[in-house]
A and B are shown apart, each in its own frame.
Chain A
Amino acid sequence: STAAAERMSGLYVDNGFDQTIVHRVISQREKREVEHEILNLLGLPDRPKNTAARPPQVKRSAPKFLLDIYKNALGEDEDEKPIGEQQRRAGEFDLTGQDFRAIDQSDVIMTFAARNHHVPGVRHERGKRLWFDVSEVPPGEHIISAELRLYRSMDVKNWRKNGSYMITAYRVLKTENGTRELQYVDAVNTTAGKEGWLTLNVSEALDHWVNNPDGNKGLYLSVHPADRSVHEVRPEDVGIVGFRGNPDKQPFMVGYFKSSGIRESKVR
């Protein structure tokens, strides 16, 4: 950082023998300034939003997921060479070979917690709408892939815990006059007795939202019995945990990005 170098130049001098020696000890204020410059260089110039009173916790599903990747899927020596297949563990989030490939290719992996974001004119039937704030995606990042992660719990009190279900994600397109237009994104089958994380490929939806922020009206989640014997059912009736469920089981989206190589230090 040029600013940091200029600031540092007053603190260290060349002794004439091509050695840098300490000229004087910096003050607390200057120390804070230099620390801020380093954070700026890392792309972390400020404390995260809304965390001044209570520091964020790692108990939510999204931070837990990335901590799981950090612990289990990255090489210990942080070298260019990825960790060996046999050393990798699926972990709590059932990471697959496809996930490991995306992790290896990524320079940035970002999670987005599902939110209850009201969009005027959108009526819900039995399905669930999930909205994600993707405004913090760094500009110029190439999207490798994105997936929606949903947790299916066995803690379902009614009859619907049995049978097979098709979970389909649609992108909400228009909301004029209360009518809704949906575009198919991806679907996954789940069967009775299966508890754990389900993943849907939402790469196209994330790409659309990043490039068209005004068009971000979220995803519509529709659940049907696989044999279509009855109409759409509510996701929670088959055990899908919503954004009001247990913090470590809440739905979230994860995006894998390849860096453009442009340093995005923010101007202060």
Chain B
Amino acid sequence: RKSTLNPNAKEFNPRSFAQPK
């Protein structure tokens, strides 16, 4: 039980992410 990460966290929606060329 060392991980503090929550698998139920809300998904992040990027606003400005563009695919790298």
Check if A and B associate. Answer: no
User: Which residues in A have some Cβ–Cβ distance to B below 8 Å?
Assistant: none
User: Which residues in B have some Cβ–Cβ distance to A below 8 Å?
Assistant: none
